[in-house]
């Protein structure tokens, strides 16, 4: 398995361009299953997760071509069964359920395996399908959904930890081909949900209200092919802004929608960092140590859970005592033990991490446990004294396009050691 070595203490400066959004690309690629006609998606990042999604589409019978960030999919004839071997590598594979149900009126998709960021149920997705008239069974690790006919309904997607993003996507993708009107209450408002709705509307769907708590979908008999460019990845943008906050002189993140990262730039401003926004570029100008912060993760437009680990890395060396409360995935703290190996002072109290900022971290061998936790360890390594060796970097490759190369361009001393 590859490792990443970071020689800490080299200040970052310059600019990087943000890639297309992973979390937009995955459901949008799944949505291409809804039509027999060709679709073209631009800006799809080169990541193992997008690669897995294309493998799933090909398994289902779609013809796929990929040339750098442009992916063409023609799903003229498809079948509706995705077994464990095909879906096990990625939890987001569950988002083929909605389009398969919409188009084929049946689907069998194996339940993806466990996940270190906590229990990840899909009860709300399944309740949504049932409300549309589908019968749902979970049998031998497979989810089976079947509906001779889908009928519009009122569905609530708000669960114990807020609205579900992929649940909202899944129900939206099934409902576009249902008879009548579907109203999704308590819908996720994430920009990726809006991006998916925009793509579906280009395909001929009739969706209103995406980006608000109520989405209204008027079912249509069929969708057609469409072309679409996915939005920039707001989590990648946020990660580079935090990198700039941790180890930067001045770092500019280009090709970003400033509105999508507002919760992150607000948090960095509250830490005392100077942020400059100009069109689609955001610069961060650190002025010494950041200060402590009380932070709570929330569904969009709140502070994203996908940026929590990176902020913990920043707050580990900020002045004073910070508290970070994880409201979306309360167990998402695998990075804490690893940051502590680097000298961070963090105590967990339930879903809250209390962080006493230290002057400096020390490089150490650490292990990546999930995508964003891994990014946090790399960021911590940029500032740490000595060498930080991050193993299991396949987690990083799931969600960051060329993270090590982009950090190198900014002046980080970082190298990837290929597995023998």
Residues that bind ligand UD1 (CB under 6 A): 23, 26, 92, 120-125, 159-162, 164-167, 188, 192, 305-306, 328-329
Active site residue 115: yes
Query: Of 69 and 162, which has the nearer Cβ to ligand UD1?
Result: 162
Q: Is 41 helix (H, G, I), strand (E, B) or coil?
A: strand
The residue among 5 and 136 lying less far from ligand UD1, judged by its C-beta, is 136
**Smallest distance, ligand UD1 to C-beta of residue 96, A:** 12
How, if at all, do strands 274-278 and 227-229 pair?
A: unpaired
Per DSSP, the three-state class of 143 is: strand
Tokens of 223: 């969708």
CB of 402 to ligand UD1, least distance (A): 19
Alpha-carbon gap, residue 2 to 245, rounded angstroms:
27
Element (H, E) at 130: helix 123-131
Q: Do the beta carbons of residue 189 and residue 212 sit within 8 Å?
A: yes
For the chain, state the CA radius of gyration. Answer: 21
Would you tell me how many other CB atoms lie within 10 Å of the CB of residue 34? 27
Of the residues 39, 95, 115, 312, only one is catalytic, namely: 115
Q: Which helix (H) or strand (E) is 144 found in, with range?
A: strand 142-146
Closest separation in Å from C-beta 130 to ligand UD1 = 12
Q: Cβ contacts of residue 7 below 8 Å, gap of 6+?
A: 363, 386, 387, 413, 414
Q: Six-digit token pair at 98? A: 């909605």
* Residue whose CB is less far from ligand UD1, 123 or 259: 123
CB of 190 to ligand UD1, least distance (A): 6
In the complex, least distance from residue 291 CB atom to ligand UD1, rounded to whole angstroms: 27
Active site residues: 115
């Amino acid at each position: 398995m590859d490792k990443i070595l970071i020689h800490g203490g080299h200040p970052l400066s310059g600019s990087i361009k943000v890639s297309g959004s992973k979390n937009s690309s995955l459901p949008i690629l799944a949505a291409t299953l809804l039509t027999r006609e060709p679709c073209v998606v631009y800006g799809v990042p080169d990541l193992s997760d997008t690669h897995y999604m294309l493998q799933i589409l090909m398994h289902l019978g779609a013809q796929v071509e990929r040339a750098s960030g442009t992916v063409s999919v023609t799903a003229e004839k498809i079948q509706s069964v995705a077994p464990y071997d095909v879906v096990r590598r990625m939890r987001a594979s569950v988002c083929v359920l909605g389009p398969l149900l919409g188009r084929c009126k049946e689907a069998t998709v194996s339940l993806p395996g466990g996940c270190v960021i906590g229990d990840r149920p899909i009860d709300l997705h399944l309740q949504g399908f049932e409300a549309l008239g589908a019968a749902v069974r979970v049998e031998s690790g497979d989810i089976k959904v079947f509906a001779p006919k889908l009928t519009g309904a009122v569905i609530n997607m708000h669960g114990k930890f807020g609205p579900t993003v992929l649940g909202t996507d899944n129900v939206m993708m099934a409902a576009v081909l249902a008879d009548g009107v579907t109203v999704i209450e308590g819908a996720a408002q994430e920009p990726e949900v809006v991006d998916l709705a925009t793509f579906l509307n280009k395909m001929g769907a009739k969706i209103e209200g995406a980006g608000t708590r109520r989405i209204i979908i008027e079912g249509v008999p069929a969708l057609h092919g469409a072309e679409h460019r996915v939005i920039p990845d707001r989590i990648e943008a946020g990660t580079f802004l935090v990198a700039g906050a941790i180890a930067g002189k001045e770092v500019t993140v280009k090709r970003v929608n400033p509105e999508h990262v507002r919760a992150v730039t607000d948090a960095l401003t509250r830490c005392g960092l100077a942020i400059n926004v100009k069109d689609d570029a955001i610069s961060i100008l650190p002025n010494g140590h950041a200060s402590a912060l009380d932070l709570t993760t929330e569904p969009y437009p709140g502070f994203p859970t996908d940026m929590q680990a990176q902020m913990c890395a920043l707050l580990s060396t900020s002045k004073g005592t910070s508290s970070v409360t994880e409201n979306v995935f309360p167990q998402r703290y695998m990075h804490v033990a690893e940051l502590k190996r680097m000298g961070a002072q963090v105590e967990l109290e339930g879903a809250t991490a209390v962080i006493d900022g230290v002057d400096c971290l020390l490089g150490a061998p650490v292990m990546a446990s999930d995508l964003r936790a891994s990014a946090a360890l790399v960021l911590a390594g940029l500032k740490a004294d000595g060498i930080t060796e991050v193993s299991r970097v396949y987690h990083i490759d799931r969600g960051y396009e060329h993270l090590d190369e982009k950090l190198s361009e900014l002046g980080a001393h970082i190298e990837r050691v290929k597995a023998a």
